[in-house]
Amino acid sequence: MAIRLRGTALALCVGIAWLPARADDLAVFAAASLTDALTEVSAAFEEETGYLVDVVFASSSTLARQIESGAPADVFISASPAWMDYLDDQGLIDPPTRRDLLVNTLVLIAPSDRAEPLDLPEQLPEALGPDGRLAIGDPDHVPAGIFAAEALLSLGLWDALADRTARTGSVRAALALVERGEAPLGIVYATDAEITDGVAIVATFPEDSHQPIVYPIAQVAEPGTPAGDRVVQTYLRYLAGDTAAEVFRDHGFLTVDRSP
């Protein structure tokens, strides 16, 4: 399998430029919650087209700021419209290529060996126990954490629980805290909960308790690699096609209706 995944740690390095493995590879920056699904889709794209794809997975905020700082990317897929707007406001994406790709759901998880269904909002504080912390993405910049804070605020829980959160740099890091038993509960996307047997969903947050969880995609306005518009457009069309949609749905994502 030719696809190469660049880790979050490398994307976070200050003063070190991220470079694709080959100068003409397609460079994709994508939200951490897409890791499994987009890895599979991009591998299928490589097999069908012969083009090579390098993918960086990290928090949408981290990736947006890396692009702002000049990191070489051809495509950006965010877990939050706000971070796509952030780049759009600076002229760093190509607006005609922007569209909504996927939708996700926000859930409450617990370690699978101690998971019991909970009623929201009543039972959440009690389930944390006297000393437990709620694992969430950092609501100052991680989209999943922002959605978590919105949901808790909407349910009247934020004031009581804000100081009892374990704030992480990405939704996958919040998932890992619960999976390892270091936090009794966490708030992640439904698709994250599906990737491991170490956690179980104990509640789903009402859709109207937070902003819609939409993943926009766009071509970067001034790509840092010479992959070329033709390759980028081929990739964007592939992600909008039926093959990619089936993979995304298999991983628990809802696909955006592409009908007229």
Reported confidence tier of residue 230, pLDDT bands at 50, 70, 90 = confident
Residue with tokens 């100052």: 140
Asked if residue 112 and residue 41 are part of one domain, the reply reads no
Same domain membership, residue 47 and residue 142: no
97 plus 33 within the same structural domain: yes
Would you state the pLDDT for residue 38?
Answer: 97
How confident is the model over 137-195, as pLDDT tens digits? 999 989 899 999 999 999 999 999 999 999 999 899 999 999 999 999 999 999 999 89
Predicted pLDDT of residue 4? 47
Q: Please give the sequence-ordered ranges of beta strands (E in DSSP) within the chain, or none if there are none.
A: 4-6, 26-31, 53-58, 75-77, 99-103, 106-111, 134-137, 165-168, 185-189, 199-204, 214-219, 254-255
72 in the same domain as 30: yes
Enter the pTM of the model.
0.80
Are 197 and 111 members of one domain?
yes
26 and 93: one domain?
yes
- Residue ending a domain, choose from 173, 193, 209: 209
Average pLDDT over residues 119-136: 95
Please tell me the total count of domains within the chain: 2
Is 260 part of a structural domain of the chain?
Answer: no
Residue 136 belongs to a domain with what CATH number? 3.40.190.10
The pair phi, psi for residue 31, each rounded to 5°, is -55, 145
- Residue 39's domain spans which residues? 4-102+215-255
Do both 245 and 124 map to the same domain?
Answer: no
Terminal Cα-to-Cα distance of the chain (whole angstroms):
35
